[in-house]
A = this chain, B = another copy of it.
Amino acid sequence: METVLRSRSQTVTIGADQPFCIIGERINPTGRKAFAEELRAGDLSRVDADALAQVAAGANMLDVNAGIPLVDEAALLAQMIRRVQDVVEVPICIDSSVIEALEAGLAAYEGRALVNSVTAEDDRLEQVLPLVARHDAAVIGLTNDETGIPATAEERLRHARKIVSAAQDYGIKPQDVVIDPLAMPVGADTEMAMATFTAMRMIRDELGVNMCVGASNVSFGLPDRPTLNAAFLPIAMACGLTAAIMSTADICVRSARAADLLLGHDAWGANWIAAHRARQAAAAEAASAEVAAPGAAAS
């Protein structure tokens, strides 16, 4: 099953036979106080910088979130999406829990967006899915409902079934529903990651849909988060995960690309070798710039 997203100029396909889809997590003011203050003051310069940096680091798509208390989220999200579209080519994942903000974001977006997100709650399904259908978008379905995060894989599968079925009632095909089997902090409960992996396998085997998680959640509260995130991805990918909203830290991006190769999604290692050569070329260029203007790199 393939989920096709588009920007003005690029198409990204999420699928079990595709390289893993890396969705940069950074353009989100949650837990970023300085960024939130800037956005509140109308300064969007960091949006540009974060968009460019994440794409340079290997993001295939970017998540954009404008959730700041007491701010007109709909207006801000639309503004941020226009901004991101102007500086990078990759498709966008429009991230809000506010229907009006999703609506404004979809109206501002030129292409086929991924809407983040709907849950298995009846009222959320009734509010979000018509919007997704009207804009011919795809949607991330979180496998929780009003009773909270299910502890077991079976319950998450049940929620996934419900979301895929509800989407079909609105004319949204299963390939346009990307299920989020919920990655929870392993520091709070070391069984949690296993529940997520099991849910992934069950959802893949029964529904065959694409799946996406917020991968950085796994390491929340623990030291050396990038290494934990980097180790989570290969296991999750082997269990059927096809996309993640994630850090584009070098160790994470390279781990996902290594897992692509190991899992047979990078024929002849062509992408792996090309990425290595690009890094070598960039390093050589940086070194020769340093020779031409000694000390400039430090300024």
A residues whose Cβ falls under 8 Å from a Cβ of B: 186-187, 190-191, 193-194, 197, 218, 222-224, 227-228, 230-235, 237-239, 251, 254-255, 258-259, 261-264, 266-269, 272-273, 276
Contact = CB atoms under 8 A, between A and B. Distances in A.
B267 A190 contact: yes
- Which 3 A-B residue pairs are closest in the complex by CB-CB distance? A231-B258, A223-B276, A193-B262
28 contacts: A186-B261, A186-B262, A186-B269, A190-B264, A190-B266, A190-B267, A193-B261, A193-B263, A194-B264, A218-B262, A222-B269, A224-B258, A224-B272, A227-B251, A227-B258, A228-B261, A228-B272, A230-B230, A230-B231, A231-B233, A231-B234, A231-B254, A231-B258, A231-B259, A232-B258, A235-B238, A235-B262, A251-B251
Contacts of A267: 190
Per DSSP, are chain A's interface residues mostly helix, strand or loop, or mixed?
helix
B258 A228 contact: yes
Contacts of A218: 262
Which of A191, A223, A228, A262 is most buried by chain B, counting CB atoms within 10 A of its CB? A262
Nearest to A262: B193
A229 B267 CA distance: 18
A53 B67 CA distance: 49
A228 B262 contact: yes
